[in-house]
Amino acid sequence: MHPAQYVLRRYCDRHLDPETAGQVEKHVETCQFCREFCEEYRALSQFVDQAAEEALPARAKQAAGYLYRVGYCVEPIVLSLLRQEPSALRVPLAADGTPKDELRFENLATFFSEEPEMVLRVMRDNRKQRDFLQLVSDDSSLVSRVLVEVPDLDLSIITDENGRGDFDRPYPDDASDLKWQVKMPQAEFSLLPLQYDPARVEYSEDIVLETVHKDRVAVRFEGQKDGKRISIRILELNGHPDFEPVAVAVSQGGKSLVAGASRDDTLYFEMEGTENSIDIRLFRGQ
């Protein structure tokens, strides 16, 4: 009678007690079937151990992160308000040679999600007179270049690669009691730095980007005397030309744009330059 497979695996991994290991070893010596099973299992284990020691290529990491986020793109991640007194971080500064305490950062509100685990802090920088949010998670792919929304305020912020997003207006006093949600991209595209002849005052170039899921967008580069921009038009989502309206987030360096788009809409994005890549992400609507 052959030992169970889990016993053979534990034997190969040297996890059996000496008496049982001796019995299995005697059987393996006389049983070709179990001997071949152990040889194949040891070869597979060695391959897995070697693969674990090798660094994962950047493209593979990006693909893995995208596939992980796809699992959360069907429904938005709803955040709950963490009920607590607002806290502040006091930073000692010097004025006229005398140390003083100035209120630099204020924590205006904190939101959280348990599945997946993430925390969103709304902060105020009193020195720069600017409000911003910081999205935090153990998995950076869940906070980088994602969409944070407050639908009732028509507020949409795209985070940067570090999970930070700046408000374009002061944080509303009643925003904490409204619904906050995070959306993962349904489709992602990346444009490498644009190559063009700077001696040409005006130029244009058309390109179609496509994902493995048959999401397609048409991008047109336009160079003019007063600047450079791209136009974006969605052709298909999941291979279908008819689709529900989506939110489109375009990012380049520290600049971003979030706007809704339907089938026949064209969005325009004023580029900061040609040295930085441009990221385009599509998010499901309400």
Q: For 42-66, write each residue's pLDDT tens digit.
A: 988 888 777 766 666 666 665 666 5
Task: Say if residue 95's pLDDT is above 50.
Answer: no
pLDDT of residue 59: 61
Q: pLDDT tier at 147 (50, 70, 90 boundaries)? A: very high
Average pLDDT over residues 187-198: 67
Q: pLDDT tier at 234 (50, 70, 90 boundaries)? A: very high
Task: Say if residue 103's pLDDT is above 50.
Answer: yes
Q: Which of 223, 236, 222, 224 is nearest to 282 (CA)?
A: 236
pLDDT of residue 102: 62
Model-level pTM? 0.64
Task: Say if residue 232's pLDDT is above 60.
Answer: yes
Q: Is-contact 29 35, C-beta < 8 A?
A: yes
Q: pLDDT tier at 161 (50, 70, 90 boundaries)? A: confident
Lowest mean pLDDT, pick from 61-65, 115-119, 146-150: 61-65
CA distances from 106 to 12, 88, 132, 241 (A): 57, 4, 10, 46
Q: In which residue are the tokens 């190559």 written?
A: 195
pLDDT of residue 111: 95
pLDDT of residue 254: 73
Average pLDDT over residues 242-263: 85
Q: How far apart are CA 130 and CA 128, in angstroms?
A: 5
Q: Is-contact 175 157, C-beta < 8 A?
A: no
Cβ-count burial 125-144 (b if 16+ within 10 Å, e if not): eeeeeebbbbbbbeeebbbb
Q: In which residue are the tokens 């290991």 written?
A: 21
pLDDT of residue 99: 45
Q: How far apart are CA 108 and CA 60, in angstroms?
A: 38
Q: pLDDT tier at 71 (50, 70, 90 boundaries)? A: low
Lowest mean pLDDT, pick from 107-111, 226-230, 237-241, 264-268: 226-230
Average pLDDT over residues 189-196: 67
pLDDT of residue 30: 92
Give the mean pLDDT of the chain. Answer: 81
CA dihedral (79, 141, 252, 108) positive or negative: positive
Q: Is-contact 90 102, C-beta < 8 A?
A: yes
